Chains A and B, each alone.
Chain A
Amino acid sequence: NAGVTQTPKFQVLKTGQSMTLQCAQDMNHNSMYWYRQDPGMGLRLIYYSASEGTTDKGEVPNGYNVSRLNKREFSLRLESAAPSQTSVYFCASSEGGNSPLHFGNGTRLTVT
């Protein structure tokens, strides 16, 4: 099993460009999450999806949109990228409730 797969691994955008970060899990997990991690900082929750068909805002949702396409996939979209969104983005999934999170390897995004 691949676990949690994130694409792309690296991306450089110009200010104002848009892009979608993809995340897929093959563990039949109910819940999925998007985090960002700035250099030397902890992870901050952007959005999460407790179950297929639902999404909720986390700590830092502004400037992002998400889509829970199906049970496997949870995408994160930046409609108009800003330099402040330069970060490493991690996707995670879990069975739900108190179950542990399983993380992908991250997408390193630079906005110039």
Chain B
Amino acid sequence: LAKTTQPISMDSYEGQEVNITCSHNNIATNDYITWYQQFPSQGPRFIIQGYKTKVTNEVASLFIPADRKSSTLSLPRVSLSDTAVYYCLVGDRDMRFGAGTRLTVKP
């Protein structure tokens, strides 16, 4: 079971790019890396998923180095509405969340 480690909190300003890194040293060969976003009083929402290298969708990019022991979620040009908690998950069955990273975007 791969344990993940993320920064507890980050601050940014509107329009900046934000990079949140997650460490998962014990990732298994079959494990994918998945990132979720959670707003207060809501369930987490899927953002992006990858296995290796780089994945990009309409809201974010995910960078995964060759050793797969870490991953970086990149949010381009954040806005106030991106203020949320971001979680990375690693695994394929027993899906456990860590503490997440609380991102605060300031005007």
Contacts and interface: CB of A to CB of B under 8 A. Distances in A.
Interface stretch (A14-22, A39-47, A62-70, A72-80): A39-47
Interface residues of B, number: 24
B74 to A, nearest CB: 18
Nearest to B87: A42
A101 interface: yes
Interface stretch (B11-19, B37-45, B60-68): B37-45
Interface size class of A (residues with CB under 8 A): 20 to 34
A89 to B, nearest CB: 10
Interface in B48-107: 49, 85, 87, 91-100
Contacts, number: 61
A45 B94 CA distance: 8
A106 B31 CA distance: 27
Contact of B95 (A33, A42, A104, A105): A33
A48 B97 CA distance: 13
Given A43-B44, A48-B93, A101-B95, 15 more contacts: A31-B93, A42-B87, A44-B96, A45-B95, A48-B94, A56-B94, A58-B96, A92-B95, A97-B92, A98-B91, A100-B46, A101-B34, A103-B43, A103-B45, A106-B41
Interface of A: 4, 31, 33, 35, 41-45, 48, 50, 56, 58-59, 90, 92, 94, 97-98, 100-106
